[in-house]
Amino acid sequence: MKKRLSDVKTALLPILLLAVASCGYHFSGTGAVVPEGAKKLAVPVFLNTTNEPYVDVEVTQAVVEEFMTDGRLKIVGPEDAELVLRGIITKYEATPLSYTVFNGQTYVQQYRISIVVEATLEDLRAKKILWKQPGVESTFLSDYAVTMQNVTATRVSKDAAVKKAAQDIAWTLRSRVLEGF
């Protein structure tokens, strides 16, 4: 009986491996939205419609750095560009995560940053919108701690969280523009 069970397992193993390998599940983008031959991209400062100052600078800088690091498109000024990636920061949110009680008062101890952007890629040569994506949201956790005794440490921690959320937005935009994800 044990030999027979072993023979069945041996016979089924190749069939199972073939079925798993041929299931067709894989990750792939829908393809880049950048037209063939386009090499130059402008990224004007993103419009900030939130009440958080300088978030537009952080997001724009992160997007420019992401495309420069990738290297497939050269970042240029609007006058030399073939493509332009425009963005509007539509939401900045700092959600309290944890609290502490001190002398009968409740204080926020930690926040989570979330940024949402609407982005548009335009082909300046063809004068048409190639891609528009509302609701591009930072997805990685960008938290910062509040230190009641040290405002500077809290500010540094917050700036790092904003930078991390901006880098997440930048990675997402680069990925969607160049890989179609």
Q: What is the pLDDT of residue 179?
A: 84
Q: What is the CATH number of domain 2-178?
A: 3.30.160.150
Q: What is the pLDDT of residue 18?
A: 41
Counting as low any pLDDT under 50, the low residues of the chain are 8, 12-30
Q: What is the pLDDT of residue 22?
A: 42
**CA–CA dist 134, 128 (Å, integer):** 17
So where are the chain's domains? 2-178
CA neighbor of 57 nearest in space, from 178, 176, 170, 177: 170
Q: What is the pLDDT of residue 141?
A: 78
